[in-house]
Amino acid sequence: MDIGLSGCESETSTVRARLEPMMDGRRRWRYRSVREDAPRVKPPPVPDPPAVLVTGGAGYVAGPLLSRLIDRGLRVIVLDNLIQGHTDTLPPEVELWTASAGDQGVLEEILGRGDVSAVFHFAGDSSVEASVKDPVTTYRHNVAEGLRLIETVARDHAHVPFILSSTAAVYGAASSAAIPEDAPVTPQSPYGETKRVLEAALRWVGEARGLRWAALRYFNAAGAEGPLRERHQPETHLIPNLLNAARSGSAVTVFGTDYPTADGTAVRDYVHISDLADGHLLALDHLGRAGPSGAFNLGSGRGHSVQEVVHAVSEVTGRVLRVTPGPRRPGDPPALVADIRRARALLGYEPRHSDITTIIETAWQAMSL
């Protein structure tokens, strides 16, 4: 593309600046001087790299995946209504569409270009507490919008693999033993139920239309990668709330001290967002080599009680935390720990950053960036 920058004359030719695509597969351009009298050999057209659609890409868990996709030479399209997301940490290469994940017109425009090679569906409400208080809103955002996305993909783009952000909340009241994917799916909250519905829709659409899909059941996403950290409004997750309390000196409530666990507080499996991002790439590769569709637990495979996490936060931050006991929150089961053997065997998933100290250290450091 000749952009007609002012040229400079030489004795034999005019030298002009021209914008040309770089050959490294990225969507960047460089200026190049060209001699007007040089023979005009038309370079072969550089095809656009394949694109990936990431709904909810401005959110916490999606963040570390974006740079990994860009590093693979993929063009990343983020579709996010920015209800929760943050644009200040989006890589500059990302193409951002500010709209809801179920906006059919926008979806048809993005998918209609024909170059989207995968869909990652992160967008949605993720608060158990909010879903208990206002189930209809969570259903509307997660189920209604999610189904419109699935419908649009399945109708004309069923060859495009679909990767859903699902959750351990689909398991409901599990035992304290590590939970495999074939454990009963009996969600205890509207939030968990909305993800169960989307998983089931993907399964049936897979059977009807051949859609390849993976539902990645994250356990408790935690930690930070560089500046990418948890910034939900309101924040309901334990680790950022403890770190905020450590910084401000305010008290923090522990919800439930009478659970049937070793110390009475709820046990959760905390998984670092870097491990989750790697898990997404592994799922994409798995579907790309025609591996079986299905649900995969992504966790650390280890459980920590709330009390243990409080202790670990005190150790890392060197601050004394003021903790007050509170009642259990509705929809919160006593223990959720992942059995990650299926993800290990089929995807090659291996959590490398998910020890609780690394999680807390990275999250604490990110707060001061």
Ligand X SMILES: NC(=O)c1ccc[n+]([C@@H]2O[C@H](COP(=O)([O-])OP(=O)(O)OC[C@H]3O[C@@H](n4cnc5c(N)ncnc54)[C@H](O)[C@@H]3O)[C@@H](O)[C@H]2O)c1
Catalytic residue annotation: 191
Q: Using CB under 6 A, which residues numbered 152 to 181 contact ligand X?
A: 165, 167
Using rule CB under 6 A, residue 123 touches ligand X: yes
Task: Give the burial class of 346: count Cβ atoms within 10 A of its Cβ; 0-12 exposed, 13-18 middle, 19 or more buried.
Answer: middle
Using rule CB under 6 A, residue 55 touches ligand X: yes
CA distance 148 to 151: 5
Query: For ligand X, which residue of 82, 136, 200, 208 counts as binding (CB under 6 A)?
Result: 82
Using rule CB under 6 A, residue 59 touches ligand X: yes
Q: Which two tokens stand for residue 154?
A: 């399945």
Using rule CB under 6 A, residue 189 touches ligand X: no
Query: For ligand X, which residue of 67, 81, 131, 293 counts as binding (CB under 6 A)?
Result: 81
Which range of residues in 9-17, 27-35, 117-125, 354-362 is near ligand X by CB under 6 A?
117-125
Nearer to ligand X, 124 or 256 (CB): 124
Nearer to ligand X, 141 or 157 (CB): 141
CA distance 369 to 365: 7
Nearer to ligand X, 49 or 353 (CB): 353
Q: How far is the CB of 354 from ligand X (least distance, A)?
A: 13
CA distance 77 to 60: 16
Using rule CB under 6 A, residue 349 touches ligand X: no
Which range of residues in 51-59, 205-213, 252-260, 351-359 is near ligand X by CB under 6 A?
51-59
Contacts of residue 338, defined as CB under 8 A and 6 or more positions apart, other chains included, come to: 168, 178, 179, 217, 219, 269, 271, 297, 298, 299, 300, 301
Q: How far is the CB of 346 from ligand X (least distance, A)?
A: 20
Question: In terms of Cα–Cα distance, which of 56, 51, 45 is closest to 78?
Answer: 56
CA distance 304 to 369: 27
Using rule CB under 6 A, residue 85 touches ligand X: yes
Identity of the amino acid at 284: L
Using rule CB under 6 A, residue 84 touches ligand X: yes
> Which strands make up the sheet holding 294-298, listed edge to edge?
95-97, 75-79, 51-55, 116-121, 162-167, 213-218, 294-298
CA distance 10 to 15: 7
Under the rule (CB under 6 A), what is the footprint of ligand X?
55-56, 58-62, 80-85, 100-101, 122-124, 126, 141, 145, 165, 167, 218, 220-221, 232
